[in-house]
C-alpha cells in the first residue's frame, strides 16, 4: 500500500539517454539535460523509457541512471523510472531496484514480443503492484509492442491502490477517451503519449502527457498544459499547433534519432542512438533543421 496518493500530471519529458561516442552512458550530459528541462518548466522527468532506449541497458546501468536523475533533480520535480521487461519476474526485479533508488513512480510497458491475453496482462501488473510500494503507471504502446491493454482491463487495474495512472500511446483518441471515462472517480490519471494529442486529451479529461518532444521543446510542451490549466485555451491550442511539426518529423530516421539529432542541432549533447539505429541522412537532417527553424527553436 502506498502512503499517499501520487497523482501524475503535467508534461513529463520521456527523456533521451545521452550517450558518448562509444555508446556508453554520458552522465555529465544527462545532468545538463535535466537542468535544461526543469529550467524550462516541465512537471516531471521520465528516464529509461522507450525514448531513453531502455532495451540497451543492464540492470546495474539502469540503477546508475536512476540514481543520477534523482541526484540531479534533487526534489525539484518527480522522477518516473521505466521498469520494462517481458517477464513478470524481471519486471518485479527492476521495479524493486527502482524503489531502492527512491524514485517517485515507475512506468511499466506491456510485455513485448509475446502476446499476453487481457487476463494475463491484469495478473502481470497486479503481481508487480503486490511486490512494490511504488506508484505504477501502466504504459500502453501497441505500435511498439503489438500488445494492447483494453479500457476494461485498465478500469480493473485502476482499483489496485498503487496503480495510479496509464500512459496511452496508440494514437487512438477513442481509446484514450475510454481510459478516462471508465476510470472516473477512481483517483486515476490518464496521460497521453502521442505529442500531437496533448491538447485534445486535456479537453477530454486527461491529466497530462509523457512527451518525447518535450526533450527538444520543453517550454512549448509545458505551455500546452499550463495555459490550459490557467484557462487560456487559445494559448494552449496555439502551443499545440506549434509543436505538431516536430512530432510529425519523427518520420525522419529511426526512433529516437530525430529527438537526439534535434538536441544536437540545438547545441545540447545527446550523442548517438544505440546501434543498429544510425544517424539521419543528410537530407533528413536538413529537413529536420528546417522544421526546428520554422518552430523558432534554433538560435
For residues 24 and 153, give the distance between their C-alpha atoms in angstroms, rounded to a whole number. 38
Catalytic (active site) residue 167: yes
For residues 106 and 166, give the distance between their C-alpha atoms in angstroms, rounded to a whole number. 11
Could you tell me if 6 and 135 are in contact, meaning their C-beta atoms sit under 8 angstroms apart?
yes
Answer yes or no: is 127 a known binding residue.
Answer: no
Q: Is 106 exposed, middle or buried (0-12, 13-18, 19+ CB in 10 A)?
A: buried
Buried b (16+ CB within 10 A) or exposed e, 47-63: bbbbbbbbebbeeeebb
Answer yes or no: is 17 a known binding residue.
Answer: no
- Direct distance between the N- and C-terminal alpha carbons of the chain, in angstroms, rounded to an integer: 48
Set 80, 139, 228, 252: catalytic member: 139
Set 167, 199, 225, 252: catalytic member: 167
For residues 119 and 178, give the distance between their C-alpha atoms in angstroms, rounded to a whole number. 19
Residues with active-site annotation: 139, 167
Which residue numbers belong to the known binding site for pyruvate? Answer: 51, 210
Amino acid at each position: 500500500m502506498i502512503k499517499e496518493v501520487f497523482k501524475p500530471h503535467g508534461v513529463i519529458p520521456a527523456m533521451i539517454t545521452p550517450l558518448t561516442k562509444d555508446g556508453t552512458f554520458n552522465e555529465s550530459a544527462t545532468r545538463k539535460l535535466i537542468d535544461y528541462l526543469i529550467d524550462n518548466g516541465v512537471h516531471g522527468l521520465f528516464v529509461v523509457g522507450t525514448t531513453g532506449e531502455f532495451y540497451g541497458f543492464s540492470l546495474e546501468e539502469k540503477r546508475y541512471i536512476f540514481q543520477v536523475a534523482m541526484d540531479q533533480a534533487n526534489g525539484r520535480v518527480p522522477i518516473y523510472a521505466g521498469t520494462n521487461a517481458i517477464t513478470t519476474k524481471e519486471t518485479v526485479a527492476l521495479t524493486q531496484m527502482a524503489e531502492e533508488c527512491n524514485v517517485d513512480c515507475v512506468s511499466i510497458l506491456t510485455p513485448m514480443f509475446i502476446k499476453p491475453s487481457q487476463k494475463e496482462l491484469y495478473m502481470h501488473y497486479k503481481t508487480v503492484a503486490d511486490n512494490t510500494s511504488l506508484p505504477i503507471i501502466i504504459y500502453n504502446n501497441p505500435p511498439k509492442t503489438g500488445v494492447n491493454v483494453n479500457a476494461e482491463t485498465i478500469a480493473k487495474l485502476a482499483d489496485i491502490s498503487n496503480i495510479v495512472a496509464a500512459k496511452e500511446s496508440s494514437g487512438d483518441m477513442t481509446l484514450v477517451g475510454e481510459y478516462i471515462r471508465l476510470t472516473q472517480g477512481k483517483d486515476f490519471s490518464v496521460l497521453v503519449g502521442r505529442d500531437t494529442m496533448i491538447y485534445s486529451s486535456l479537453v477530454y479529461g486527461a491529466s497530462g502527457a509523457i512527451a518525447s518532444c518535450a526533450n527538444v521543446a520543453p517550454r512549448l510542451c509545458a505551455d500546452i498544459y499550463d495555459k490550459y490549466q490557467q484557462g487560456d485555451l487559445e494559448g494552449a491550442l496555439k502551443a499545440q499547433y506549434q509543436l505538431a511539426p516536430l512530432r510529425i518529423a519523427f518520420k525522419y530516421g529511426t526512433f529516437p534519432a530525430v529527438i537526439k539529432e534535434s538536441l544536437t542541432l540545438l547545441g545540447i549533447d545527446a550523442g548517438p542512438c544505440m546501434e543498429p539505429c544510425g544517424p539521419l541522412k543528410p537530407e533528413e537532417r536538413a529537413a529536420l533543421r528546417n522544421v526546428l527553424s520554422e518552430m523558432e527553436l534554433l538560435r
